[in-house]
Each structure stands twice: as structure tokens, then as C-alpha cells.
Amino acid sequence: MTRGLNLIRNSIPAFQSSRKALTGTVGFVPTMGALHEGHLSLVEQAKKDNDHVVSSIFVNPAQFGPNEDLDTYPRQLQTDAALLESLGVDCIFAPAKADEMYGPYHTTYVDPVIFNSSREGLARPGFFRGVATIVMKLFNITQPTRAYFGQKDAVQCCVIKRMVKDMNIPVEVVIMPTVREADGLAMSSRNAYLTEKERPHASIVYKSLQAAEEVYSNSTVPASKIVDAVKSTLASEPLITEIQYVAVDSKENMQPLEEVVAGEGAVVSLAVKMGSVRLIDNIVL
């Protein structure tokens, strides 16, 4: 049998039956698959912190907008399962069909309202409602002690932490730093969409965030000065075809800041398009 396939559970009851057999602490790493070193860093940390690790692979339709890449999102379940097995994951929940998670009468959604009106929320209407709903469902199915998320999706991290608090979910949320390619590009399953010509130019995204770091240099500065520095760096790269947003937000709740106070820092986040490929990234000042 191909490595890892024996770990896959395609239905909720099949997963729950394997989950019941795990005693002690359980770390959970939710993903949409097409795994890279960013995902693996979450699994490795979960392995260190817990007696067992479970992961999910599910391309969640509820978080994709009508004109987004749900149909073309990279899917490579066998390769992913082999990778997760090599890292010592105990069990993988990979619903075979969307129906497994959203039956015909599914009507209950979790909507983290304050996050809908800025940044990723504005750029992707319905995105955080889709994310919060699926993560709530996955928490209920996997019953983890700890759950692991990447800082690359900065607002998502805040949404999950807020939901856990607001809904009194008994799980510890662990946020791991963004893993980058050698030239600084944040690892992402969607980087595979970049053409050979575009790929080297995508390093401008991280360079623009480093420009933000230079402007801040631990001094009090208006957020607008940081935004200008990031935008002008991005504008120097002709293959960047659209700047969707550059935002300076509070580290605590990802709400907008007028100025960054020395010693307090902020999160600078952005979304751009390089041709048809949408890239997001952020830096914690």
C-alpha cells in the first residue's frame, strides 16, 4: 500500500472511531493540503507538544468566493498522506466529499463579524465566516488539546483565537511563525500558480515588508508612512499588477492603527496580485 493511505479517514464516523483510541494529549493541524514546509513546521511543533497528532485535509468550499480558485486549488492527497506519515501523524481526516461536512440542510454558520470589514475580510467576502465555521466543526470532530495555525494567515489566527474565547472552546491555540523560501517569499500552496518568469520577482513581497521594518525601527511613526514605504517598494516591481491592500493593525486584534507606537509594534499585512496569482504576507513589527 502507498505510504500514509492507511492513516486517511474519509468520513466523520471513521475518523471519530480512530480518535477515540488516542489517549493523552492530541495536537491538531488543519490544512487544505498541497503540503509544504510551512505546514510541516506546524506538524513538527504539534509532535513536540502532544502525545498524538492528527491533521485534516479539506478544501473547504464555504471559504471560497464565487470567482475564486476552489476548482483549481492543488489537490495531492497521496503525496500529503505520505509526508504526514513520515512525520509521525497518527490519523488524517480527509472528507471524501464536501457533503460530508455540509449536508443538504446545513444552516448553522459562525460569523466573526468584526473581521469582515477590513483586510482579508473585505477582499474576500464570506471568507472568515467560512473559515470560522469549518474550524469550529473540525474542532468538534477532532477534539484536540492544542491546535496549530500559521502566522502567514494573520487575521485568520485572530479569528480563531477570538472564536475559541467567545465560544468557550476547550482548546489551546498555538501560532507558528511564517516559513519562507530562501529569497523571503512566504511558502504557500498557491505559489505553485506562479510562472517560472514570475517566481523570482515574487520576492518583492517580503522586501516590501522589510521596508516597513526599516521605517518603524522601534520608533513611533504614523501608519501612513509605513503603508507608503511598502507600496512604493511594491510599485518598483512591474509584475505586481494590483495592490489589494496594505494595512497596519494592532497585534492583539488586527484592527487598524493610526500610528505605531515605539515598543508596542504592529502587524503590517498585504495582499497583491502578480498576474492572476494572489499573494498575501505580513510582518510583525
Rounded CA-CA distance 147/269 in Å is 23
**Considering beta carbons, is residue 52 or 129 the nearer one to ligand BAL?**
129
179 binds, among ligand BAL, ligand PAF, ligand ATP, none (CB under 5 to 8 A by kind): ligand ATP
Strands (E), the chain: 8-9, 26-31, 52-57, 91-93, 146-150, 172-176, 221-222, 240-249, 259-260, 267-274, 277-284
| Contacts of ligand PAF in 23-52 (CB under 6 A) | 30-32
Q: What residues are paired with 268 via a beta bridge?
A: 248, 283
39 is catalytic: yes
Rounded CA-CA distance 273/285 in Å is 23
178 binds, among ligand ATP, ligand BAL, ligand PAF, none (CB under 5 to 8 A by kind): ligand ATP
Copy the grid coordinates of residue 93. 481526516
Distances (CA, A) of 111 to 63, 130, 131, 147, 162: 12, 8, 9, 20, 11
**Considering beta carbons, is residue 189 or 229 the nearer one to ligand ATP?**
189
**Considering beta carbons, is residue 135 or 211 the nearer one to ligand PAF?**
135
| Contacts of ligand BAL in 150-169 (CB under 6 A) | 153
Minimum Å distance from CB 21 to ligand ATP?
A: 25
135 binds, among ligand PAF, ligand BAL, ligand ATP, none (CB under 5 to 8 A by kind): ligand PAF
Residues that bind ligand ATP (CB under 6 A): 31-32, 38-39, 41-42, 149-150, 152-153, 176, 178-179, 186-190
